[in-house]
């Protein structure tokens, strides 16, 4: 049963144990993540209110809607992935239980003596999928599809429904990630778990001549745990042998993790196999070493009755320093904990034991470091998006206000004029309208040049061009035997990709210059207030390419040369490369599309406003022609509309100011409420 006050109410009541036993401690990762979720919900609510207000006041133009949709998706779909990596028997799954699932009052991930997690396991939440465990059979390694392709084929996964209100059923179902199969040596080799060239790394052969291998290639757990609902994704990885055999895990999933927790045993420190995992798979990942936390687990094994507490702490401090030196990290990134004692302390409500386990120190490091970093990145992106939204909407309000001023001035000029003069004005407005309608060919020419240049830009970033550039490298990877020239093939391919990206960045600059010149001409000729949107910064994707190349070259180290000689393994590595590059290029294409839509929508909006303005001007003169006193009445109407526009402008500033406020301010407001 969960601790007192933590009743099951349709989803896991995680984190409440901390309040009851240690109210004065710094916030745990669970609590900090809860507040991150509060900010995201508050932001989404305010964004929806802004959207409704814009719609009600006829300000929801296509460009504004596109910007709103992007912001909403950015905050709603923001994920924070924490990867737990360790060699077998380091207590990794127990640490996940202690940090995230203690609210269940028992272990959820398999962490008892003997069998533990055997396949990479992702825990997350998708509201469109019922609570379930999905398992991809290990035999899929023998087929050409990548893991990304298999994710889009749910019928190929074995599915087990989960009852998140029944901890026993949940733990029993998730135990399946520890299942194994017994296969022949030949099948083990084909699956990547046996290598004649490195017999010391091979698993033991049973009396029957068969070898144990994981039954599943990958597992996805979907459940409505509060932290998972708020966007946390936990990646639980098995030991060195399983990591090395799945290149897509190493070169795609792990580099995309926002933080990596690397678990060692406190009594042994950094072993040879630990150092191999670190050097081959973790030391060059994308987010930089500051996003790495090393955990010396099982410090309770050093609690020696024959040693004083001071002596034990000195031993632990020495292990932390030595481990930091070996791994090239700051000592503050190496923490010593006891996951098992921390879990026990949370379940039993034992504050002194929780203190001794140091688990809350790890949770605080995750909260301050990981969440602080992600919150800043998300807040910066949101700030830029809201600023652009305010500019686009403000420009529309400004256009309407300017048109009203011109109409008032135009009508003021009719005071004391006779019917002939008023009729002449109507004819002049109608002529202006006809001339404007006839100018469509000039505006269409601007669109035509813009679209032609965009076609070239999309061609450089498209899937077809990317596949062509990677073809030679894929061919080199798939050649039989040791790949002596494969590193050169990587260098050549990525040089081409960087060259193409530089060309795309240059082309985007040319399009931007063309837009600025065209918009300036249209502004001068038609009195528009067009402003070319900020161009996409495609050069920053060069860093993403560098990280992809770096992770692959690291993977081609001596330890994987023999694996790479196997055609099936090389095929998987080639697919993993293409999958990750597609993500980089798709992101770049999305940025270009948003830039293009923003420019096109802005032009469409001002064309539409100008046509409405002609209609309103002609209607106003018609009313004046038909009724004496209509002139003063129409001027008063226009002045009233001006006052309303001023209020709209002030309200827009107020609504967007709320969205621009720092996350900490929004969190404080929500918590106070």
Query: Band of the pLDDT at 663, cuts 50, 70, 90?
Result: low
Mean pLDDT (the chain, rounded) = 81
pLDDT at 557: 65
**Cβ atoms of residues 341 and 300 within 8 Å:** yes
At 396, list the tokens: 């529309």
Question: What does the alpha-carbon distance between residue 280 and residue 238 come to, in Å, rounded to a whole number?
Answer: 15
- Relative to beta strand 158-161, strand 211-214 is unpaired
Residue 480: left if φ>0, alpha if ψ -120 to 50, beta else—which one?
beta
Using the Cα atoms of residue 49, residue 55, residue 58 and residue 64 in order, give the sign of their dihedral. Answer: positive
Query: Band of the pLDDT at 162, cuts 50, 70, 90?
Result: very high
For residue 264, how far is the Cα from the chain centroid? Answer: 28
Taking residues 556-570, what's their average pLDDT? 68
Question: What does the alpha-carbon distance between residue 95 and residue 29 come to, in Å, rounded to a whole number?
Answer: 13
Question: What does the alpha-carbon distance between residue 303 and residue 295 come to, in Å, rounded to a whole number?
Answer: 17
Question: What does the alpha-carbon distance between residue 38 and residue 75 come to, in Å, rounded to a whole number?
Answer: 12
Higher pLDDT, 655 or 344: 344
Q: What is the pLDDT of residues 344-372, one digit of tens each?
A: 999 999 999 999 999 988 888 887 766 67
Residue 336 has pLDDT above 80, yes or no: yes
Q: What is the pLDDT of residues 369-395, one digit of tens each?
A: 666 777 777 777 788 888 888 888 888
pLDDT at 14: 37
Question: What does the alpha-carbon distance between residue 293 and residue 527 come to, in Å, rounded to a whole number?
Answer: 58
Q: What is the pLDDT of residues 72-110, one digit of tens each?
A: 887 877 788 888 998 888 888 899 999 888 888 888 888
Q: Who's near 303: CB < 8 A, 6+ residues apart?
A: 312
Q: Phi then psi for 82, rounded to 5 degrees?
A: -115, 120
Q: What is the pLDDT of residues 447-500, one digit of tens each?
A: 787 788 889 899 999 999 999 999 888 888 777 766 667 888 888 999 999 999
Taking residues 141-160, what's their average pLDDT? 87
Residue 414 has pLDDT above 80, yes or no: no
The residue extents of the domains of the chain are 417-626
Helix residue ranges per DSSP H, 527-556: 541-555
- Relative to beta strand 292-297, strand 334-336 is parallel
Higher pLDDT, 439 or 454: 454
Q: What is the pLDDT of residues 619-628, one digit of tens each?
A: 888 877 776 5
Which of 9-18, 108-117, 266-275 is most confident? Answer: 266-275
Using the Cα atoms of residue 197, residue 198, residue 199 and residue 205 in order, give the sign of their dihedral. Answer: negative
pLDDT at 465: 92
Q: Who's near 624: CB < 8 A, 6+ residues apart?
A: 411, 414, 422, 630, 631, 634
Taking residues 522-537, what's their average pLDDT? 85
Taking residues 233-251, what's their average pLDDT? 75
Q: At what angle do helices 567-626 and 486-526 cross, to 10 degrees?
A: 0
């Amino acid at each position: 049963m969960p601790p007192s006050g933590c009743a099951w109410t349709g989803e896991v009541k995680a984190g409440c144990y901390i309040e009851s036993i240690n109210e004065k401690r710094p916030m745990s990762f669970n609590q900090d993540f809860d507040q991150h979720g509060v900010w995201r919900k508050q932001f989404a609510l305010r964004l929806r209110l802004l959207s409704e207000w814009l719609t009600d006041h006829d300000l929801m133009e296509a460009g504004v809607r596109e910007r709103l949709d992007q912001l909403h998706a950015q905050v709603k779909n923001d994920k924070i992935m924490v990867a737990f990596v360790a060699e077998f028997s380091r207590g990794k799954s127990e640490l996940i239980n202690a940090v995230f699932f203690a609210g269940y009052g028992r272990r959820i991930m398999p962490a008892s003596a003997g069998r533990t997690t055997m396949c990479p396991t992702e825990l997350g939440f998708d509201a469109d999928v019922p609570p379930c465990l999905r398992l991809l059979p290990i035999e899929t390694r023998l087929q050409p599809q990548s893991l990304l392709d298999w994710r889009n084929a749910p019928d190929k996964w074995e599915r087990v429904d989960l009852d998140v209100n029944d901890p026993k059923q949940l733990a029993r179902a998730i135990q399946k990630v520890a299942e194994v199969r017994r296969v022949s040596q030949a099948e083990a080799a084909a699956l990547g778990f046996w290598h004649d060239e490195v017999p010391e790394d091979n698993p033991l052969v049973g009396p029957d001549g068969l070898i144990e291998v994981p039954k599943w290639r990958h597992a996805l757990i979907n459940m409505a745990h509060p932290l998972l609902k708020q966007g946390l994704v936990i990646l639980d990885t098995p030991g060195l042998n399983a990591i090395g055999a799945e290149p897509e895990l190493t070169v795609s999933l792990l580099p995309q993790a926002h933080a990596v927790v690397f678990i060692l045993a406190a009594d042994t420190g950094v072993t040879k196999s630990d150092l191999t995992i670190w050097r081959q798979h973790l030391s060059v990942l994308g987010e930089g070493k500051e996003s790495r936390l090393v955990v010396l687990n099982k410090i309770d094994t050093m609690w020696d009755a024959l040693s004083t507490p001071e002596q034990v702490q000195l031993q632990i401090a020495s292990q932390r320093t030595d481990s930091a030196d070996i791994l090239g990290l700051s000592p503050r990134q190496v923490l010593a904990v006891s996951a098992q004692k921390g879990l026990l302390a949370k379940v039993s409500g034992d504050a002194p034991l929780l203190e001794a386990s140091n688990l809350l120190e790890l949770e605080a490091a995750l909260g301050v470091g990981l969440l602080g970093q992600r919150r800043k990145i998300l807040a910066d992106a949101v700030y830029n998006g809201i600023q652009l939204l305010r500019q686009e909407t403000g420009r529309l309000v400004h256009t309407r206000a300017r048109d009203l001023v011109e109409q008032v001035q135009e009508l003021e000029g009719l005071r004391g004029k006779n019917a002939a003069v008023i009729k002449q004005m109507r004819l002049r407005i109608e002529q202006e309208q006809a001339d404007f309608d006839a100018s469509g060919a000039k505006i269409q020419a601007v669109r035509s040049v813009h679209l032609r240049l965009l076609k070239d830009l999309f061609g450089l970033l498209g899937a077809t061009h990317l596949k062509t550039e990677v073809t030679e490298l894929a061919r080199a990877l798939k050649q039989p035997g040791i790949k002596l020239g494969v590193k050169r093939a990587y260098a050549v391919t990525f040089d081409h990709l960087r060259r193409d990206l530089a060309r795309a960045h240059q082309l985007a600059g040319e399009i931007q210059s063309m837009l600025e010149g065209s918009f300036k001409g249209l502004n001068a000729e038609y009195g528009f207030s067009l402003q070319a949107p900020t161009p996409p910064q495609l050069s920053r994707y060069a860093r993403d390419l560098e990280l992809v190349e770096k992770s692959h070259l690291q993977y081609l180290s001596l330890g994987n040369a023999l694996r790479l000689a196997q055609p099936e393994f090389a095929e998987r590595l080639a697919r993993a490369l293409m999958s990750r590059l597609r993500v980089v290029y798709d992101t770049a294409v999305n940025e270009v599309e948003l830039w293009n839509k923003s420019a096109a929508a802005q032009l469409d909006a001002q064309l539409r406003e100008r046509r409405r303005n002609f209609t309103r001007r002609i209607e106003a003169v018609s009313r004046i022609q038909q009724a004496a006193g209509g002139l003063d009445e129409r001027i008063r109407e226009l002045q009233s509309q001006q006052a309303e526009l001023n209020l709209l402008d002030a309200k827009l500033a107020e609504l967007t100011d709320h969205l621009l406020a720092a996350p900490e301010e929004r969190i404080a407001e929500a918590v106070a409420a």
